[in-house]
Amino acid sequence: MFGRHHLGRAALVAASTLVATVAFAQPKADPKKPAPAPAPTGTVGAPAPTPAPTPTPVAPVAPAVPTTGTPSTTPETAPESEGSDVDALRQEYLQLRDELFASRARAATIASALYSTRVQVRFGFGSARFWGVGRAVIRLDGASVFDDTAGLVGTDNAVRFDGWIAPGRHLVTLRLETVGKDDDRFTTATESTFVVQAIAGKDLVIDARTSDGGDIAYAWKRGERGTYRIGIDVDVKTTARASGPAAATAKQAARAK
């Protein structure tokens, strides 16, 4: 029994000495170097796991420029294409304007050649002191050539229409609407139609004057009585065409056609 106890103690001392020797043989860890990765655990003889791929470094992104704050002092210039488009539109506008002016001049020349009679219509109202003009209309062969709601015919007897017509018979219609200034309950609407004759190569002048000498808008409040005295006077005449550069140009244009 003593022999077994002595033998076991000797074995324990030998094992302790071996452990100390192994521990002393291990290299001292350097605090500046990172600790080695622990050995993988698992079944002996199993393949080692595939290491994860090293991520590719991403270039840093420049910070976005703020939209608020101190404005940039660098002047902004419009793209060259935008300037070219504006210039092209300007050139197109100038071309269209020139064509429009040329078309109007051509239309006037052709009209003077085809419709050889120039007509002027004067229209005035002589009782504007007592009657306000609500509307004045001139129609030539059914087409409206003058329509006034500003009371112009009550101010003077000026030319209200100046144009060209074909030689022959034409219808002129004058319509006048008025309202009493002393009593707006009294109104009138008169319309007259008459015939004129246009002569080739001559100008036609129509001078129409209307009036209302009645007193109903003034007298009705005093005696419940009054009058309308609506009248129209029309003078029609032809005049010789004035010769000059304009007439010569019209004749030349007619011959060229």
Average confidence (pLDDT) per 10 residues, the chain, 257 residues: 51 51 49 52 48 53 50 55 79 88 76 79 96 97 95 95 94 97 96 96 95 95 95 95 53 50
Q: Judge whether 183 and 173 are in contact, CB under 8 Å.
A: no
Q: For residue 88, what pLDDT is reported?
A: 86
Q: For residue 169, what pLDDT is reported?
A: 95
| Rounded distance between C-alpha atoms, residue 122 and residue 157, angstroms | 6
Q: For residue 160, what pLDDT is reported?
A: 97
R_g of the chain computed on alpha carbons: 56
Q: For residue 55, what pLDDT is reported?
A: 54
| Rounded distance between C-alpha atoms, residue 193 and residue 153, angstroms | 18
Q: Judge whether 28 and 35 are in contact, CB under 8 Å.
A: no
Phi, psi angle pair for 137, to nearest 5°: -130, 140
Report the side by side order of strands in the sheet with 131-140.
143-148, 131-140, 168-180, 187-198
Best CA proximity match to 211, nearest among 131, 122, 150:
131
Q: For residue 20, what pLDDT is reported?
A: 46
Q: For residue 86, what pLDDT is reported?
A: 85
